[in-house]
Structure 1
């Protein structure tokens, strides 16, 4: 009887992971991608204002950065199930309310307030659901034991597919089904996430409350003790200002300056995600042969060159191509960063240091939104050129400093 019971339990584990982990991760990732790229498009379509579009981008990211300070502790205290369900239901209610309110309002103060509140509230709720879903995936990976890498590879694939399809779907729906159509689809994905949320609370032990400032202090002390990682994070943080600026300004540039549709804006970021995935696959093999520094330096050169050229793009095709090249370079540098983090950060402080590096890398995104909000659309090209020059200098300084670092000079073969 024992072998039979164990066998039947093993047979049930596969659909349990599919039903309890992969499906809610898929629906949450879809809502995440559509919200991130679709809400700024909605703001532009509603207000026809480049400044408010940039401000909405900033309002999306500021709460997400703030969420790092408390959502982790919230998940530790209440479990992944409760946080994922409440955050998903909250996001669904917010976007459904906007879907019903917006059609009753004419373009003006009321519509502007509605979409700006939508940007801020979905930003924090989306980050809450993401951290809860990520934690649920980590628990499932630990339960999988020797097959943990398989679980993580599937989760990464789900996120990549959402990044590919989410922007295009959001732009397409906004173009052909209007704001209500796009928001209802986001709400549907959010409600599905709540219904499918994994029941893992019995697996989570109540955690001792951690002081946020203490964790940041530990991460900062560790980062200062690892100059190589500090230089790389600094270079990528400067680079992210340009990436964030291009992401925040894309609706304005593509729709208002180049005369294309919101669907074309989403298509750009979907194709850029394809380029990034190809670059990641190629860089993993290239690093095995040539080492981290050469691949990182080449990726940085590609990204900086594309950014310097993109401000001079005057057609949709050239803009799309340069954004794809930029994201390919960013993908290569991301592989280098993740590999270097895993090599250098001690295991006992890995979580705190990882959180700090993510926080630093994301800080430029709300700043990019503020730039788009304050700079006249006609001057965005000049600001992009200036940021691209700073990016090139930052990446050059970082990789020049890292040229003799042993951890980046050795190959993985």
Structure 2
């Protein structure tokens, strides 16, 4: 395990690259659902687009984890960021030149961008312990989480401002430029430990992939965490997939309200960035996870029962703040019980299990949400999550406590 920390300027460039990449994602997430919903006027189309956006990434995750282990992380991040730039440039050009192809181009581009999510996430997972050293993993993971929330403030604000002057389609070119900037930020970062590959046959690759699945299957706390994350993500993804339709359709708010709502989440991210270190010192990592999960569940229920946009907006912001707090626990604890040399191989299947809920949520929104209404779907999923989490969250926390204690005992040794 790495015991030394990286230079401060490396951590700053790391954070900037993550932030720019996430801002670009937020610009895309602002523009694409609005364009599709306004073109189709259909919740079914929105749900299908959401499912297509996530399904390819699930297939890519195990392979992306293997790639990150072999590459070291930083170079893979840079290359994929440039691929995202090219995809958005192509899709944007098609939308401008052939307006009748807009919906199809956006859905196809979303599927291509989905393939890029996995290697980017795996690269970040791989680089975090390289930068954090042994004792600052929670702090660096909190930094990553808060970059996500900060991006939700800057991304929609940038998108809303650019849309006023350029139009929504041209936001795709803005996002492409920001992706290129994220790649540039990671240029000075060291590549990290690289695994030499002597056998590139299908059998050898399959054997390496199976290593990750076996470690995950036999690591009880991480497996329990993956199941719990699946349940959380199912409810959260249904809310995210329905958000554009709820804001502009159900509550009759405008595009500016949609952008302002996402910006409010990011502003809370700034506040969260200030308070998470103090919360960690005061409550500890497990208590912070429990607080985040409780807030997440309560806020989901609020969005489901909200009669008007102001109450929905409060609930939506609280959902993502609760998710951010829970994710500090989620991202920190799993790194403590996984072997670093196989981290990517394990995190690939772990993310696949986590994010399988996203395309399922898209299908639920397109079917149940379109029939009964998106708020009824969110309410039902929130109630199920409360019941499921009441059992699985304590089990997961106890399992991590035992596994971490066992690793500490093994590394220190027992004196008889």
Partner of 1:371: 364
Partner of 2:4: none
Partner of 1:122: 113
Q: Which has the higher contact order (CA 8 A, sep 6+)?
A: 2
Check 1:317–1:34 CA distance in 2 against 1; reply closer, same or farther (3 A cut). Answer: same
How many angstroms apart in 2 are the aligned matches of 1:333 and 1:248?
21
Deviations 1:118-147 (CA, angstroms, capped at 9, x unpaired): 2112222354455456656766x38x9999
Check 1:96–1:348 CA distance in 2 against 1; reply closer, same or farther (3 A cut). Answer: closer
Deviations 1:22-77 (CA, angstroms, capped at 9, x unpaired): 65444333223323443223322333322222222222212222222323444566
Partner of 2:167: 178
Note if contact 1:239-1:394 (Cα within 8 Å) is conserved in structure 2. no
- Count of residues in correspondence between the two structures: 394
How many angstroms apart in 1 are the aligned matches of 2:29 and 2:283?
36
How many angstroms apart in 2 are the aligned matches of 1:323 and 1:131?
27
**Aligned pair 1:386/2:386, yes or no?**
no
TM-score relative to the length of structure 2 = 0.77
How many angstroms apart in 1 are the aligned matches of 2:18 and 2:246?
32
Partner of 2:95: 102
SS state at 1:180 partner: coil
> Displacement, 1:348?
5.7
SS state at 1:186 partner: helix
Note if contact 2:53-2:114 (Cα within 8 Å) is conserved in structure 1. yes
Q: CA RMSD, aligned part only?
A: 4.1
Structure 1: runs of 5 or more not aligned: 1-12
Structure 2: runs of 5 or more not aligned: 1-6, 406-416
Q: Please point out which of 295, 320, 325 is paired with 2:313.
A: 320
How many angstroms apart in 1 are the aligned matches of 2:11 and 2:315?
37
Q: Please point out which of 264, 267, 271 is paired with 1:271.
A: 264
Higher mean Cα deviation, 392-401 or 145-154? 145-154
Check 1:254–1:172 CA distance in 2 against 1; reply closer, same or farther (3 A cut). Answer: farther
> Displacement, 1:322?
0.6
Deviations 1:71-120 (CA, angstroms, capped at 9, x unpaired): 3444566786764555334333332333333244455xx33212211211
How many angstroms apart in 1 are the aligned matches of 2:12 and 2:260?
30
Q: Please point out which of 299, 303, 312 is paired with 2:296.
A: 303
**Aligned pair 1:39/2:28, yes or no?**
no
Note if contact 1:303-1:326 (Cα within 8 Å) is conserved in structure 2. yes
TM-score relative to the length of structure 1 = 0.77
Note if contact 1:84-1:194 (Cα within 8 Å) is conserved in structure 2. yes
